[in-house]
Amino acid sequence: MNVTMTRLRYLSDVVSLELDIARCTGCRRCVEVCPRTVLRMENKRVAIVDRDLCIECGACAKNCEPGALSVYEGVGCATAIINGMLTGGEPTCGCSESDPESNTAPEKSCC
């Protein structure tokens, strides 16, 4: 079942995931939230076992109370990054940006 995903890997040595092991309390929360099996418990502390699998979703860092994990979080979406370049702002794919009061959905679809 996992064969497909182990084969589907993106570029190597680019991911920004960092671990400050001294801060880890061994709560396992990060291992639980990682959708890509990047992390594993080793000797009651977390360890990065496969960095290149990381997709920088930010779930581990966000859910790490002691702040042992950090990552440059974002969506790996070329459309969003190009949009960000064109508008000079943050990467955005144009969805979720609609005004909830006006009830109009943006025409452009995304993700």
Partner 1 sequence: MGKKTDRENKMPHWIIGKIDTGKVCVVSTDLSFRDQIGRVRSRLGSFRMRYTVNPSLYAVGEPDENSPVFISANYKLSFDLLRCSLKGIDAFILVLDTRGINVWCAAGKGTFGTEELIERIRGTGLDDVVRHRRIVIPQLGAPGIQAHTVHKSTGFRVFYGPVYAKDIPEYLKNGYKATQNMRTVQFNFRDRLVLTPIETVQMGKPFLIYVLSMFILFGLQPSGILFKDALNGGYHFVLLGAVSILSGALLTPLGLPLIPFRAFSLKGLVSGLVVVAAYFFLFIGGSRQEVLKTAIIFITFPVLSSYIALNFTGATPFTSISGVKKELKYALPCYILVSAASVVLFILYKMKLLELI
Contacting positions for partner 1 (CB under 8 A): 1-2, 4-5, 7-12, 14-16, 29, 32-37, 53-59, 62-63, 65, 72-82, 91, 93, 95-96, 98, 100-101, 103, 105-111
| Spatial separation of the C-alpha atoms in residues 49 and 36, rounded to whole Å | 11
* Nearer CB in complex with partner 1: 26/58: 58
* Nearer CB in complex with partner 1: 5/21: 5
Q: How far is CA 50 from the centre of its chain?
A: 14
| Spatial separation of the C-alpha atoms in residues 10 and 28, rounded to whole Å | 25
Please state the closest distance from residue 45 (CB atom) to partner 1, in A: 19
Please state the closest distance from residue 43 (CB atom) to partner 1, in A: 19
Number of H helices, E strands in the chain: 4, 4
| Spatial separation of the C-alpha atoms in residues 10 and 6, rounded to whole Å | 10
* Nearer CB in complex with partner 1: 87/106: 106
